[in-house]
Structure 1
């Protein structure tokens, strides 16, 4: 069986995220994977912590990540995405840079840079 390219792994992750399939989404991550803010704080480490972090997102009815651009350099995949979210203040979007490191067909580390949330104007 041929292993998936890093871009294929990240696409599977994105597809599972948009399907809100936590098991398929976690299957793209190494068991000891780590999530960070870009150049900073550890957000979650390991499947249990990563699962807990994403389950609240998957509960949002309008959650959807639209891929705007993808760059691949060896095992590093950088996605620029616009995420539709249900914020406490209402439905909106936030832009994100997601920097993934893939090894052995799984996401090992990912760092996120978050833009400013933009609320949608009803009826616009």
Structure 2
């Protein structure tokens, strides 16, 4: 039986797998029945099958990359502030994201995301 990773290690493994576009490693950081939400809003996905579909669609973007700008830990909750490079229909750009992860038993059980404004052009640190 593998040791249970602490919340910071789980979320870092998730970010590393996302940037490597490694769907199996990414899903391994989530509980099988994990849920993803828009922060304070609708459910985006529940379970590995729905999450796999969402992530694989995103992984098709050649320039996809999440840059961690800050990370905060409060108990089992990890909050990341990230700058995501994306390939939008209009061209290369970025969005700021606030990602809130609840880690239970060494896996992400719940994740909520708030997405900032889309900015077209090469990645740059957000103002402010």
Shift of 1:2: 3.8
The reply on whether 1:82 has 2:83 as its aligned counterpart is yes
Return 5+ residue gaps in structure 2 as ranges. Answer: 123-128
Q: Match for residue 55 of structure 1?
A: 56
Structure 1 residues 80 and 4: alpha-carbon distance in aligned structure 2, compared to 1, 3 A threshold? same
Q: What TM-score, normalized to structure 1?
A: 0.95
Return 5+ residue gaps in structure 1 as ranges. Answer: none
Structure 1 residues 2 and 31: alpha-carbon distance in aligned structure 2, compared to 1, 3 A threshold? closer
Q: What TM-score, normalized to structure 2?
A: 0.92
Q: Match for residue 38 of structure 1?
A: 39
Q: CA RMSD in A?
A: 0.9
Q: 76-85 vs 1-10, which deviates more?
A: 1-10
Shift of 1:70: 0.1
Give structure 1 regions of 4+ aligned residues with deviation exceeding 2 angstroms: none
